[in-house]
Chains A and B, each alone.
Chain A
Amino acid sequence: MPDEERPTGEEAEVDEVATLSQALAEEKERAESYLANWQRAQADFVNYKRRNEQERDEISRFANSRLMLALLPVLDDLERALDSVTPRLEDSSWVEGIRLIERKLRAGLEAQGLSQIEALGKEFDPNFHEAAGHSEGQEGIVAHELQKGYMLHDRVLRPSRVIVGNGEVSEE
């Protein structure tokens, strides 16, 4: 730098202070961004941990839901079988045996938290029932149950499939 332009002692100091101030400002900004990112990562971690614990809880309570859902059609079929016993076979001990088996299967599942959803005669509620159609009957009340619905603990495993009354009532 040519002589006449060389800064004096004071000017040099001022320049240095300016440079340092700027560097400090940049570092501060960087530090803030690091802190923010760290906080964000920490928060993500805490949330993830919390959710992980919740999920583990759920998994242990509802681990069986897939299996149960797969078994429900079998329970349905057993019921169908027993509902259509012909009068001739009604008293046969073999049929009685099947009844006992159905009861046992049901009891076994209930011990694991399965419970039936009440539908017939109740007010139609899409939280628990799935409507398959209308028919004669009191309006908004379940007139027929096509397929039973079940809860696993406090959660709907399969909604009841129902026919809902439309308010028409046939004359006697």
Chain B
Amino acid sequence: MGKVIGIDLGTTFSEVAVMEAGEPVVIPSAEGGHLIPSVVAMSKTGERLVGQIAKRQAIVNPENTIYSIKRFMGRKWGEPAGRELPVEEDAKRKAYKVTKAPNGDVRVAMGGKEYSPPEISAMILQKLKADAEAYLGEKVTEAVITVPAYFNDSQRQATKDAGKIAGLEVLRIINEPTAASLAYGLDKKKEETIAVYDLGGGTFDISVLELGEGTFQVKSTNGDTHLGGDDFDQRIMDWVCDEYKREQGIDLRQDKMALQRLKEAAEKAKTELSTVQQTDINLPFITADASGPKHLSMTLTRSRLEQLVMDLVEKTLEPCRQALADAEKTSAQIDEVVLVGGQTRMPLVQEKVKQFFGKEPHKGVNPDEVVAIGAAIQGGVLRGDVKDVLLLDVTPLTLGIETLGGVVTPLIPRNTTIPTSKSQVFSTATDSQPSVEIHVLQGERPMAADNRTLGRFMLDGILPAPRGVPQIEVSFDIDANGILSVKAHDKGTGKEQKITITASSGLSKEDVERMQREAQTYSAEDARRREEVELRNTADTLAYTAEKTLRDNKDKIPEDLHKEVEEKVGAVRSVLQGTDIEAVRRASQELSDAMQKVGQAVYQQQPPPGAEPPPGGGDDEGTVEGEFREV
């Protein structure tokens, strides 16, 4: 089975999401963005347009642009009205032709042909399918599609048919409020009563669900099919126009262009006021009159906005009361409240919902995407993703070894998914060092002494060589059970040692959290200590290489320069004995400057033919010094 996509097939916008590496991901459309307008059109040239492109030409091609087809899915002419308007009413409000099939079904006309609502929805689904396939790089043949909780059998079947026409096997049709609950993981709880408050762009829906034994049951639904974020925008526009008329005597409502700009500005202001207390509506050259250009510049505060829309928000509470009554529940009996729809981002809405239900609503998941995400989660469950034998763990803390200066060199960072393995090549700290000690550490602090020792072992038999030359490969390997084995391998001699550590996950959750917290608290201090160690290491290496350079290029270096360098090296060595880090920094700098002069001196001379070029003073690139000093 390939991936099962989750589709939120909305009245005005649709979205598709899929599970990836255990997490739901909303799939971007080919045009960019996540929301695809649920609009289908046939252009004058017979080309079929779906989504954003179709929306853009809607005004100039109204008879052949089909929108809000969801209102006609699974419905018949002459049906008694349910939550929706009767078909006759709805049809009148549409710019496209809605006709009656012989059996009473709804048909819509587009490009001179008649289509059933499932056929139109299928065009939208086809686009979502294509976008998903482009994103995933594989074929998609199965989906989970969401529908409003009040959809009847015929409406659900029509949605399934639409999927089939689009080439998708619809594994399940789930209710939108159920999908939202899944997105918040509420299905993991045992017995719950959940209220889902869905305030979108044009409609409001409230549903009361009961979760029992892993299944969701819809106890009641209610709502207002003509109440949404667009009404909020309108309130702002009305206020601006009224204020402007009062102040400037000009009625912006007469100016189509101004209204368009104002509409966008109103929406933007509304969005901004969800995070700040006030915002500017700034529209230069909004219009002109006899005296010249006119500008609009107003400040809208959050409290003013709340006054403007208070009645709209309160209008949503009556359906909530009704839904509770129909479900025979009091607000106290509601265990969880879930927010869906962009308009629920508004602090006033969240506040009112909290007051009404007496509890904090769930809102962490993007309210525009929560339904698609829930559908994707359901798709993952149906595919068997969750039931896989493989439940992967992570290492809770960073694992590494101790290196020169008592610092930790990490090999496997915390929260790496296991099984995993990592190796790195290290070297010796002193000339002719015969062995290295591998000190395995666990923890987040940069200094070895502040972390937990998991184990130690030695690898000996290293051949005499200048420091930094031997290559010791250290490998960490954690298997699926969390058992860590650490191996040290001398690439020169072929000798190997290893240990196996089972206790790496023996820490309790509190221990892990404590270690992470401590790392945070001490992070500034630790960083300073680490920097000091690194400075000292660099100074030490600098002194060593300076001496080596002096030895190797004895004849090319003038006597006084040689003496100067020797002095500087001595200075570095002596400050390293002490603890004054600034002195170390200064001495290193002076030595470094002196070495520059040596380099110049050497390169100015013609090297005799066949002589080896002077060493650049660097050790093996890419190896890290190992602190394997014998104490």
Where the two chains meet, the residues of A that have a C-beta atom closer than 8 Å to any C-beta of B are 33-34, 37, 41, 43-44, 47-48, 50-51, 77, 80-81, 84, 86, 124, 126-127, 129-134, 140, 146, 155-156, 159, 161, 164, 166
Contact = CB atoms under 8 A, between A and B. Distances in A.
Nearest to A50: B137
A37 B388 contact: yes
Contact of A155 (B20, B32, B138): B32
Interface string B48-84: 0100011011111100000000000000000000000
Contacts of B43: 126
A131 B58 CA distance: 7
14 contacts: A41-B390, A43-B138, A80-B284, A84-B285, A84-B288, A84-B292, A126-B43, A126-B49, A130-B57, A131-B56, A133-B59, A133-B60, A161-B260, A166-B60
B293 A84 contact: yes
Contacts of A80: 284-285, 293
Interface string B549-591: 0000000000000000000000000000000000000000000
A146 B137 contact: no
B522 interface: no
Contacts of A47: 136-138
B257 interface: yes
A155 B21 CA distance: 30
Contacts of B288: 84
What are the nearest 7 A-B pairs in CB distance? A80-B285, A131-B60, A126-B57, A126-B56, A130-B56, A77-B284, A164-B60
Contacts of A33: 389
B555 to A, nearest CB: 52
B137 A51 contact: yes
Contacts of A129: 56
A94 B137 CA distance: 56
B58 A127 contact: no
Contact of A124 (B20, B60, B284, B388): B60
B20 A48 contact: yes
B260 A132 contact: yes
Contacts of A134: 59-60
A91 B49 CA distance: 48
Interface in B459-474: none
Contacts of B226: none
B285 A81 contact: yes
Contacts of B603: none
B21 A48 contact: yes
B239 interface: no
Interface in B229-262: 256-257, 260
Given A37-B389, A51-B135, 4 more contacts: A33-B389, A126-B56, A131-B56, A133-B256
Given A37-B389, A81-B284, A146-B257, A126 B21 contact: no
Contact of A132 (B59, B136, B285, B390): B59
Interface in B366-390: 388-390
B53 A126 contact: yes
Interface in B13-31: 20-21, 31
Given A48-B21, A86-B292, A159 B390 contact: no
B137 A159 contact: no
A47 B284 CA distance: 48
A7 B257 CA distance: 97
Contacts of B283: 77
Contacts of A133: 59-60, 256
Interface string B128-145: 000000011110000000
Contacts of B20: 44, 48
Given A124-B57, A140-B44, A37 B284 contact: no
B54 A126 contact: yes
A149 to B, nearest CB: 11
B22 to A, nearest CB: 10
Contacts of A130: 56-57
A120 to B, nearest CB: 16
A127 B285 contact: no
A159 B56 CA distance: 9
A156 B29 CA distance: 14
A131 B56 CA distance: 6
Interface in B269-294: 283-285, 288, 292-293
Nearest to A65: B32
Nearest to A166: B60
Nearest to B31: A156
A84 B138 CA distance: 54
B329 to A, nearest CB: 43
Interface in B157-212: none
A131 B138 contact: no
A122 to B, nearest CB: 14
Contacts of A146: 257, 260
A34 B389 CA distance: 9
Contacts of B293: 80-81, 84
Contacts of B260: 132, 146, 161
Nearest to A140: B44
Contacts of B257: 146
Contacts of A155: 32
Contacts of B53: 126-127
A141 to B, nearest CB: 11
A37 B137 contact: no
A100 B388 CA distance: 65
Interface string B33-57: 0000000000110000100011011
Residue in B31, B56, B137 with the greatest tally of chain A CB atoms within 10 Å? B56
A133 to B, nearest CB: 6
Of the candidates B21, B54, B60, B288, the one having the most CB atoms from chain A within 10 angstroms of its own CB is: B60
A130 B59 CA distance: 9
A102 B415 CA distance: 51
Contacts of A41: 390
A1 B198 CA distance: 69
B621 to A, nearest CB: 27
A146 B288 CA distance: 16
Nearest to B257: A146
Nearest to A164: B60
B39 to A, nearest CB: 11
